[in-house]
Amino acid sequence: MDAIPLSALIGALVFLLIVSAFFSGSETGLMSLNRYRLRHLADQNHKGAKIALRLLGKPEKLIGVILLGNNLVNILAASIATLIGLRLYGDTGIAIATGVLTIVVLVFAEVTPKTLAALHPERFALPASYILEPLLKIFYPFVWIVNHAATLIFRMLGISAQQVSQYDLSTEELRIVVNEAGTVIPQRHQQMLLNLLDLEKVTVEDIMVPRNEIIGIDIGDDWETIINQIRDSQHTKLPVYEGDINQVIGFLHLRKTIKLFDKPEDANKDKLKSIIRDAYFVPEGTPLNTQLLNFQREKRRIGLVVDEYGDILGLITLEDLLEEIVGEFTTDPSATSKDIHLQEDGSYLVDGSATIRDLNRTLDWNLPTDGPKTLNGLIIEYLEHIPDTGTSLLITDYPMEVVQTTNNTVKTVRINPNWKATLVAEETTESPAASE
């Protein structure tokens, strides 16, 4: 070794440090890659991405070859640094070489390349994959020994090595990905994706038209009443029942009545019954994502929600379900919901039958949704009795005043979400007079 020139030893040391930096940066870069973007690049026939994807498909082998190469290079570098120290400073050069090499390796072969690779993983990892793949083939016997030794240790600790290769996203993790997409996904599209993820948390009862608000045709009514109801209907499909909604016959598509009334003199209830389609029933508690698929499979757009006893609870349509994904088609609360009426003082007159979800979505409120589905139910549960007109209460920081009640329900409620701002404004206005 004494015959080797000092300059050659220094050159070899510098080369080994560069190689060490390469292995360190490659490890961080490959592990920092966005797996989904990497798959996209691979689908676009990016050769480096394809190689990186193959390497990441067997992480234990990839880590094995990187650590094998990195440790081998670092040990050689330490040996050469020791020789250089001995030549320059004698025995004391060993301590000097150890201290200097530790700092140099830490700064130039660890911190710097790993930081750069973490900041720009694709620029570092994709080119490195061209070198790592052939290295893996060359050092495969050594990597195989190292991996089997590690697997044996994993088994002793009760850890499955297969777990490290799983990159499946949970719903909440996917929600975070969508929220952090920034300008990559337009905000409107982000909200639609989040609404789609929320479908599994919402059931058909949350968006159905309550039983008492269902508009349908009673086949027991006189023929003239039925004709007028069909002529004046604002809906394209109507449930048809006999005496009571629980005795439903089916659904009438008003478009099919056009041919029926081509010859009004021949139209009658029997012919009307012949064009009625059988009813489609939806069990209560069905998540919206499941019901969306059910509508698609059954080729239906409307259904009746029933409880465990078969009684009708309400009506759900495909349009209402889709609104949960795309949102309302207007920003005017009074136009969006017939149950919400904006007042001049900034308060809202709300029908007691309005659903809590509808209020929260339309007005961006935060009323509790884990209990009753309607505002009437929320107030009655809170007070534990049917309130009198003029009763005031505060629910989750929303002051409410009961404006109108019937014998067993709250009919109309006034809600002022801006009561704090109004109170501050009144106090500011009154303070000068008070001081005088």
Q: What pLDDT digit, counting tens, does each position of 159-204 carry?
A: 765 554 455 677 777 888 788 776 778 877 888 888 888 888 889 9
In a domain, 368, yes or no: yes
Total of domains in the chain: 4
Domain containing 98 equals 6-164
pLDDT at 435 over 50: no
Task: Check whether residue 260 and residue 292 sit in a common domain.
Answer: yes
Task: Check whether residue 298 and residue 359 sit in a common domain.
Answer: no
DSSP character string of 47-111: HHHHHHHHHHHSHHHHHHHHHHHHHHHHHHHHHHHHHHHHHHHTTHHHHHHHHHHHHHIIIIIII
Mean pLDDT of 420-436: 51
Residue 427: per-residue pLDDT = 53
Task: Check whether residue 149 and residue 189 sit in a common domain.
Answer: no
- Return the minimum-mean-pLDDT range out of 104-108, 334-338, 394-398, 429-433: 429-433
In a domain, 110, yes or no: yes
Q: Which residues lie across from 287 on neighbouring strands?
A: 203
In a domain, 50, yes or no: yes
In a domain, 327, yes or no: no
Task: Check whether residue 284 and residue 416 sit in a common domain.
Answer: no
Task: Check whether residue 31 and residue 66 sit in a common domain.
Answer: yes
In a domain, 434, yes or no: no
CB 52 within 8 A of CB 30: yes
CATH of the domain at 210: 3.10.580.10
In a domain, 223, yes or no: yes
Q: What is the mean pLDDT of the chain?
A: 85
Domain endpoint, select from 268, 287, 319:
319
Task: Check whether residue 379 and residue 270 sit in a common domain.
Answer: no
CATH of the domain at 375: 3.30.465.10
Domain endpoint, select from 275, 292, 319:
319
Q: 210: closest CA among 326, 352, 309, 414? A: 352
Rounded Cα–Cα distance for residues 136 and 65 (Å): 6
Domain endpoint, select from 293, 319, 345:
319
In a domain, 326, yes or no: no
Q: What is the pLDDT of residues 98-146, one digit of tens each?
A: 888 899 999 998 999 999 999 999 988 899 999 999 998 888 888 888 8
Task: Check whether residue 185 and residue 209 sit in a common domain.
Answer: no
Task: Check whether residue 248 and residue 140 sit in a common domain.
Answer: no
Distance of CA 291 to the CA centre of its chain: 18
Task: Check whether residue 129 and residue 242 sit in a common domain.
Answer: no
In a domain, 236, yes or no: yes
Distances (CA, A) of 230 to 175, 213, 218, 329, 338: 45, 17, 11, 27, 22
Task: Check whether residue 132 and residue 14 sit in a common domain.
Answer: yes
Task: Check whether residue 60 and residue 156 sit in a common domain.
Answer: yes
